Amino acid sequence: MSPATAADDQARFDALQRKLVPLWTSIRALNQDEQTIVVVPSLDTDADLDATELQAYEERFLFLLLLLRQPRARLVYVTGQAIHPSIVDYYLDLMPGVISSHARRRLFLVSPLDGSTTPLAQKLLARPRLLERIRGLVPNPDRAHLVPFSTTWADREIAMALGIPMYGCDPRLLPWGTKTGSRRLFREEGVPHPAGREDLADEDALVEAIVAMRRDRPATKKVVVKLNLGVSGGGNANLSLAGLPPSGSRDERDAVRRALPGMKFESPALDWPRFLEKLADQHGIVEERIEADEIRSPSVQLRVTPLGDVELLSTHDQLLGGASGQSYLGCRFPADPAYAALISREALKVGRRLGREGVLGRFALDFVVSRPRGGGWSVHGIELNLRKGGTTHPFLTLQFLTDGAYDAESCEFTAPNGRHKYFVASDHVESPAYRVLTPDDLFDLALRHGLHFDQTRLTGIVFHMMSALPARGRTGLTAVADSPEEADRLYRRFLEVLDAETRPAGG
């Protein structure tokens, strides 16, 4: 694209985005003007997902069907493959005070019926007739917007093809959300973060960065190498520095080079040659691995509104697993009050900067907090995710189902009945034994055991990613309760039910 064409393209997109201002003002005023929400939950990540998992992740945001509680809202939800009718019924039946048949008339499910692993946005762009059909489902483009999962150039192109603004970050600003961009933001905004180096493109750069880190911090024992675009820890690798010659030794560089292929990769799909290929393509960072008597991994979710306001939405404690405990599995809400205010304060520094840079929509910052035995908590910024993430859907599910709100000062979520609410959520409720179950089986089990979400008490289990059950034995759930202990109990209780119901006869 020539500079003139690119400038014209940017000007047209900016003009579209300005439509969000009156739309947002109208929505916040809680009037009942018509609006159309077009949801395209396209994933374009470095994660190694098969077609079943990709479809499940696209369905992870079906909680947005709860927006149909607004009587003049229309929702167009696009997925690569068709969604099972029972799953649609499940979400519509969760809505309090709504006639489901009325909501269904305002819901439009669209699919290219393409089971490949190509990102959904690219599937749509390859099918102009399907895009035209979606455009025909938008009665008034001035009262509509696109909701993507992340905001790639393909998502932006869809917004422009439909003639509606996109509620999400302009992809020209996405470099701030890489591992390299995150470290630079932390440094410039005074957010504490691990020692390290960024924008590394090859083996030589890695060697020099590690040598420099050892020189500056001789006590460093472990480092983490991260690909710029790695998601949920899948682009991370751990390297122990034990056994290397002293910093400044003549053979130090050669010893570091020999150690690199032995890094422990978080993703089983990665090895040293493949990691080097990806490093050359997207670059990466290396930073000290934080070690202490106690370590946790909380996150903070924020947004910049179309009016330019920076809002702190929630805090979470992430549940991590995988080969070295760096893969995202789920979360607890809210984060521990012992450090929730600390991470919120640091996150707001970044949020305000991003607002000045022109970022729009939801994003999250991941932290590591650590403390010695009997000491206080220290905060370390780890990365910025300029997209919706694993904490977005459970929090919005809670918000939509309860009409409650998170208070950034008290670090508590309160429902209209005055009760505080808590949840445990996971995208990784999985076992080969669960493949015998269907989504309808899940609903039946929750009802029979009294674990289904109860609109009167505002507690219980809410499911997501159910379509991955038959092929992968995997689903997701959010357990909502009136205390952290009760949320944990609900979560564990349903896992016990699943295991008991899928245990082989005589097992």
pLDDT of residue 113: 96
In tens, the pLDDT along 255-267 reads 999 999 999 998 8
Confidence (pLDDT) at 28: 72
Q: For 127, list phi and psi in degrees, rounded to 5.
A: -130, 80
pLDDT confidence of 252, banded at 50, 70, 90? very high
**Which helix (H) or strand (E) segment is 318 a member of?**
strand 310-321
Does the pLDDT at position 506 exceed 80? no
Flag whether pLDDT at 1 surpasses 80: no
Region 2-30 average pLDDT = 85
Q: Which of 104, 97, 200 is nearest to 455 (CA)?
A: 97
Mean pLDDT value of segment 231-253: 90
Of 507 and 271, the structure prediction assigns the larger pLDDT to 271
Closest residue by Cα to residue 346 from 377, 391, 374: 377
Judged by DSSP in three states, 144 sits in: strand
Residue 31 has pLDDT above 60, yes or no: no
Which strands sit side by side in the sheet containing 264-265, from one edge to the other? Answer: 196-200, 284-288, 222-227, 236-240, 264-265
Helix, strand, coil % in the chain, rounded to nearest 5: 40, 25, 35
d(CA 159, CA 154): 9
Tell me the per-residue pLDDT of 148-178, one tens digit each, with 9 for 90 and over: 988 899 999 999 999 999 999 999 999 999 9
Confidence bin at 488 (pLDDT 50/70/90) = very high
Residue 440: its pLDDT value, please?
96
Does residue 323 carry a pLDDT above 80?
A: no
Measured between alpha carbons, how far is 72 from 258 in angstroms, rounded to an integer? 63
Which one is predicted more confidently, 479 or 7?
479
Q: How many residues does the chain have?
A: 507
Supply the Cα-derived Rg of the chain in whole angstroms: 23
Q: How many helices (H) and strands (E) does the chain have?
A: 17, 20
